[in-house]
Chain A
Amino acid sequence: SQQGEEDPQALSIQEGENATMNCSYKTSINNLQWYRQNSGRGLVHLILIRSNEREKHSGRLRVTLDTSKKSSSLLITASRAADTASYFCVPGGGNKLTFGTGTQLKVEL
């Protein structure tokens, strides 16, 4: 996979608000994945969106993919303190994942 660039680098919101983070990449992809890493813990695979999909939902998560702009967004609705984590996008998938610096999300009570 190639390295995605997440934006913003850090985001702080109140519990109950929505959080949106964006990802840009450089070359064409078959799919794009989002992962979450809680502090000091392993990564959790959140969602995968394929290149022929525009939008995908999973619980409170909504992911969009715009292949013409080479960008993706992850929306977390009604955020909770437990959503505090780093979020990484991985464009391309496969057996050699490349991670960027991620978006550090902090959800405050």
Chain B
Amino acid sequence: DTAVSQTPKYLVTQMGNDKSIKCEQNLGHDTMYWYKQDSKKFLKIMFSYNNKELIINETVPNRFSPKSPDKAHLNLHINSLELGDSAVYFCASSPGQGWDGQYFGPGTRLTVT
């Protein structure tokens, strides 16, 4: 009965490859997010979707493309992976616009070699 789940948990891949990370929430929330936590542990928002519509798109390279097939899923596709993409990626969800807190997934550790 995991609330926010992500797959895979670990991903090791070579530069130039294309990869996807999947996120699902079973909380019935309207809004989902992707965050990136770099090696210095700073956690920064990348994207947010509300009812399948993009509402936040931070300064992220266009190699990153989120896709929300339905309200419960928000996937992150990354093209032409670079070394600097190595990080932990967290998915989160919230009811409404997040004023009552966000619920985070366990993270996906991406290593680009």
Contacts and interface: CB of A to CB of B under 8 A. Distances in A.
A3 to B, nearest CB: 10
A99 B106 contact: no
A44 B100 contact: no
Given A30-B99, A43-B90, A102-B41, A95 B48 contact: yes
Contact of B107 (A30, A41, A48): A41
A43 B55 CA distance: 22
Contacts of A59: none
B31 interface: yes
Nearest to B41: A101
Contacts of A33: 101
Interface in B10-55: 31, 33, 35, 41-45, 48, 50, 55
A42 B90 contact: yes
Interface residues on A, range: 20 to 34
Helix, strand, loop or mixed for chain B's interface?
strand
Given A41-B107, A43-B104, A44-B104, A96 B41 contact: no
A93 B101 contact: yes
Interface residues on B, range: 20 to 34
B97 interface: yes
Contacts of B4: 42
Contacts of B45: 96-98
Contacts of B92: 43
B107 A42 contact: yes
Given A94-B97, A94-B98, A97-B98, A45 B41 contact: no
Contacts of B48: 95-96
A95 B87 CA distance: 22
A86 B98 contact: no
Nearest to B50: A95
A45 B101 contact: yes
Interface of A: 30-31, 33, 35, 40-45, 48, 86, 88, 93-99, 101-102
